[in-house]
């Protein structure tokens, strides 16, 4: 037998992609973070701890830290309780419409929280629709409910973030084999005891894990706190950092912001670490389920319909009411007067096209979303394949890649943006051009931040493909590249499409990076909505919010139908 020379030995394309990705992440994430760390230890041009001391002496910063605590803790607990309750109702009871609820209660997950916050201001702002109704009913002279408070933030965050534990806990709950509880029953446990001793402990890792996810989401939230905090100057950590960055009059303002960002980073990474530990410790979370899932408990009629009503209210409050409020507001001629036929107009929408920066923002956001989705999908296809099939850099290399991919997604966008400002505000060395204030810095930031979505999604899809499928192609005479082209890519096609949409959805509504990195001519949808809000142009703000919700819904709907189609080959070698 003579050994054939590998035709593709000349250009190791995968290896090049791998190293380019590494270089990109080093430049776009690691370098800016290093500059940020260095800056946090610099005051008046010399090395010092002054910035850190400042964090605890400055009353405004101290206040924001306290505010964050007052928002994050209760809303994390509330979201988790609400999410687990809904998951339980949908999976474990015979509540009418449980199939439908299991879908529609997940919708808040897909609505950008800052759009949710804006929509709620249309209901519960000083001239909000709901407030006006309440004023009419109870003959009040003032709006009874103020959404621009800590309580308002807790409410809005919980109402959107409960979907995370709902989505995470529901499948685990379904997967627990019925025989687990039955074994307890036959051992002598009552149904309640079986739930407390067996089901709850089995669910605990997934409940705690989703709770930490919610914690991380809320801690790094910028949009909701910016929208609801602005009128009464209630600032949380992220908004305080944003505020510090935008105060050039304050000496060392970027350095103080960096120190504050470091503090937030410690919390975020701590949360991420605990989250990982929980996932790792829950080796048993994947519970065998030959005997089918747990049977839903049959509730008596009254309890059943009570639960149904509760779920309807939850859906109404979390999804219907704010979306409807945004739509009504967007169609209103004069804000503050009840909505009627005379007070209705389409002008808020039709007027948008004429506003130059708004049409530009739509063009920019769509282009940014499409480009980042394309880049991320193409890059992660190769990088994930190399990582899963252990074809690259050994285990350590894969770990480092994973950390570099996860970091920018786990850290608050505000921090990533601050690092980029610090690193790229001045012209790049040697080349002499500056990317700060250009379209490309937004693209770089988006790609770095959302690479994680592509990596996770495609890595998952590749591990579903049994290696024997590729080995069979090799035995049939196909080379490595040919196998990848003929076997791997066709099998991954739905996942690749899904990944693109998965990236597009958060990029069109991105706000925390964009609010710091945008510039004139390089606006995004998020930033023009934010500007409309700051300028008090409520009707324009509403019209933009409705358009953005529409866009996000379309993208998610498309993503959903693609992932549904994924199963057309059945399970490919799923063991």
Helix residue ranges per DSSP H, 4-93:
13-25, 31-40, 50-57, 59-92
For the chain, the maximum distance between any two Cα atoms, rounded to a whole number of angstroms, is 95
Q: How far is the CB of 288 from other proteins (least distance, A)?
A: 5
Give 103 or 288: the residue with its C-beta nearer to other proteins: 288
The H helix count followed by the E strand count for the chain is 28, 2
CB 295, min distance to other proteins, A: 9
CB of 196 to other proteins, least distance (A): 12
DSSP, collapsed to helix, strand or coil, labels residue 519 as: strand
Provide, rounded to whole angstroms, the least separation between the CB of residue 293 and other proteins: 12
Write down the least CB distance from residue 298 to other proteins, Å.
11
Beta carbon nearer to other proteins, 184 or 548: 184
Site for other proteins in 449-478 (CB under 8 A): none
Residue 213 Cβ, how far from other proteins at the closest point, in Å? Answer: 21
Instruction: Give the contact letters, 197-226, x = binds to other proteins (CB under 8 A), - = no.
Output: xx--xx------------------------
Q: What is the 3-state secondary structure (H, E, C) of 203-238?
A: HHHHHHHHHHHHHHHHHCCCHHHHHHHCCCCCCCHH
178/478 with CB nearer other proteins: 178
Report in angstroms how near the CB of residue 458 gets to other proteins at its nearest. Answer: 28
Closest CB to other proteins among residues 182, 402: 182
**Residues facing 344 on adjacent strands:** 332
CA distance 312 to 322: 15
Interhelix angle for 59-92 vs 301-315, to 10°? 140
Give phi and psi for 10, each to the nearest 5.
Answer: -65, -55
Residue 161's nearest CA partner among 237, 212, 108 is 108
Distance CA 281, CA 217 (A): 22
**Residue 196 found at the interface with other proteins (CB under 8 A):** no
- Residue 296: CB minimum distance to other proteins, A: 14
Strand, helix or coil at 464? Answer: helix
Cβ pair 255, 241 in contact under 8 A: no
> Under rule CB under 8 A, which residues in 371-410 are in contact with other proteins?
none
Q: Which residues pair with 42 in a beta bridge?
A: 47
Q: How far is the CB of 197 from other proteins (least distance, A)?
A: 7
Q: Which of residues 169-188 bind other proteins (CB under 8 A)?
A: 177, 179-180, 182-188
Q: Which is nearer to other proteins, 6 or 187 (CB)?
A: 187
| Candidate list 53, 62, 193, 276; residue touching other proteins; CB under 8 A | 193
Nearer to other proteins, 25 or 207 (CB): 207
Pick 202 or 227: Cβ nearer other proteins: 202
CB nearer to other proteins: pick between 178 and 324: 178
From residue 541, alpha-carbon distances to 121, 160, 330, 519, 534 in Å are 11, 20, 8, 19, 10
Tokens 């530990």 appear where? 277
Whose Cβ is closer to other proteins: residue 60's or residue 190's?
190
202 vs 398, beta carbon nearer other proteins: 202
Which parts of 254-313 interact with other proteins (CB under 8 A)?
283-284, 287-291
The beta strand positions in 502-563, using DSSP E, are none
Residue number with CB closer to other proteins (167 or 189): 189
DSSP output for 102-145: HHHTTGGGGS-HHHHHHHHHHHHSTT-HHHHHHHHHHT-SS-S-
**Pick 10 or 188: Cβ nearer other proteins:** 188
**Which one-letter DSSP state was computed for residue 412?**
-
Q: Smallest distance from the beta carbon of 177 to other proteins, in angstroms?
A: 6
Nearest by Cα to 17 from 441, 375, 435:
375
Smallest distance from the beta carbon of 199 to other proteins, in angstroms? 10
- Comparing C-alpha atoms, which of 551, 555, 552, 455 is closest to residue 501? 555
Among the residue ranges 57-65, 192-200, 256-264, 444-452, the one whose residues contact other proteins (CB under 8 A): 192-200
Q: Which is nearer to other proteins, 135 or 178 (CB)?
A: 178
Query: Scanning residues 514 to 543, which ones bind other proteins (CB under 8 A)?
Result: none
Give the three-state DSSP class for 292: coil
The first and second tokens of residue 213, run together, are 């996810």
- Assess contact for 374 and 446: CB atoms under 8 A: no
Three-class SS of 466-488: CHHHHHHHHHCCCCHHHHHHHHH
In the complex, what is the shortest distance from the CB of residue 201 to other proteins, in angstroms, rounded to a whole number?
5
Q: Name the minimum Å distance from CB 191 to other proteins.
A: 8
- Please state, in angstroms and rounded to a whole number, the distance separating the CA atoms of residues 143 and 126: 6
The residue whose two tokens read 């509880």 is: 181
To the nearest whole angstrom, how small is the minimum distance from the Cβ of residue 110 to other proteins? 33
Q: How far apart are CA 529 and CA 511, in angstroms?
A: 10
| Closer CB to other proteins, 284 or 305, in the complex | 284
Q: List the x/- string, 121-160, binding to other proteins by CB under 8 A.
A: ----------------------------------------
Q: Which stretch binds other proteins (CB under 8 A): 136-144, 196-204, 215-223, 306-314?
A: 196-204
Binding residues for other proteins, rule CB under 8 A, total 25
Give the binding site for other proteins (CB under 8 A).
Answer: 177, 179-180, 182-191, 193, 197-198, 201-202, 283-284, 287-291
């Amino acid at each position: 037998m003579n050994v054939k020379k590998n035709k593709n030995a000349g250009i190791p394309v995968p290896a090049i992609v791998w190293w380019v990705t590494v270089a990109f992440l080093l430049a776009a994430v690691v370098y800016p973070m290093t500059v940020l760390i260095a800056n946090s230890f610099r005051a008046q041009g010399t090395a010092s701890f002054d910035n850190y001391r400042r964090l605890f002496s400055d009353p405004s910063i101290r206040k924001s830290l306290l505010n964050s605590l007052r928002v994050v803790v209760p809303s994390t607990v509330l979201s988790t309780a609400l999410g687990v309750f809904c998951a339980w109702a949908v999976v474990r009871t015979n509540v009418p419409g449980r199939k439908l609820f299991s879908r529609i209660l997940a919708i808040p997950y897909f609505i950008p929280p800052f759009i949710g916050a804006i929509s709620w201001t249309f209901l519960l702002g000083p001239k909000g629709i709901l407030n006006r109704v309440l004023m009419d009913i109870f003959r009040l002279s003032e709006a009874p409910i103020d959404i621009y408070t800590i309580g308002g933030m807790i409410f809005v965050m919980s109402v959107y973030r409960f979907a995370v534990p709902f989505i995470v806990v529901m499948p685990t709950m379904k997967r627990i084999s019925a025989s687990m509880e039955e074994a307890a029953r036959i051992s002598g446990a009552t149904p309640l005891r079986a739930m407390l001793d067996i089901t709850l402990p089995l669910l605990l890792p997934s409940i705690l894990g989703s709770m930490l996810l919610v914690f991380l989401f809320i801690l790094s939230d910028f949009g909701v706190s910016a929208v609801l905090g602005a009128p009464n100057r209630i600032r949380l950590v992220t908004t305080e950092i944003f505020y510090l960055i935008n105060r050039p009059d304050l000496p060392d303002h970027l350095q103080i912001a960096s120190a504050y960002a470091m503090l937030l980073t410690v919390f975020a990474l701590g949360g991420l670490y605990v989250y990982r530990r929980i996932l790792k410790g829950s080796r048993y979370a994947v519970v065998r389920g030959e005997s089918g899932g747990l049977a839903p408990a049959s509730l008596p009629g009254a309890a059943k319909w009570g639960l149904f009503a509760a779920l309807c209210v939850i859906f109404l409050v979390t999804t219907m009411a704010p979306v409807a409020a945004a739509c009504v507001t967007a169609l209103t001629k004069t804000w503050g007067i009840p909505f009627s036929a005379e007070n209705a107009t389409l002008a808020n929408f039709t007027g948008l096209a004429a506003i130059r920066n708004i049409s530009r923002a739509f063009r920019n956001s769509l282009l940014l979303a499409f480009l980042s989705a394309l880049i991320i999908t193409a890059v992660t296809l190769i990088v994930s394949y190399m990582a899963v099939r252990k074809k690259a850099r050994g285990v350590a290399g894969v770990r480092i890649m994973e950390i570099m991919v996860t970091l920018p997604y786990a850290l608050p966008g505000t921090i990533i943006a601050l690092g980029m400002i610090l690193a790229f505000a001045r012209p790049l060395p040697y080349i002499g051009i500056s990317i700060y204030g250009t379209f490309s810095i937004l693209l770089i930031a988006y790609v770095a931040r959302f690479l994680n979505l592509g990596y996770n999604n495609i890595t998952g899809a590749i591990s579903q493909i049994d290696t024997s499928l590729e080995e069979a192609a090799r035995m049939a005479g196909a080379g490595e590249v040919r196998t990848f082209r003929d076997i791997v890519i066709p099998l991954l096609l739905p996942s690749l499409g899904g990944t693109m949409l998965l990236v597009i959805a958060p990029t069109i509504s991105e706000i925390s990076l964009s609010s710091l990195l945008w510039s004139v001519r390089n606006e995004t949808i998020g930033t023009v909505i934010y500007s409309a809000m700051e300028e008090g142009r409520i009707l324009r703000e509403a019209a933009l919010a409705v358009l953005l919700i529409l866009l996000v819904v379309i993208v998610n709907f498309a993503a959903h139908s693609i992932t549904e189609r994924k199963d057309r080959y059945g399970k490919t070698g799923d063991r």
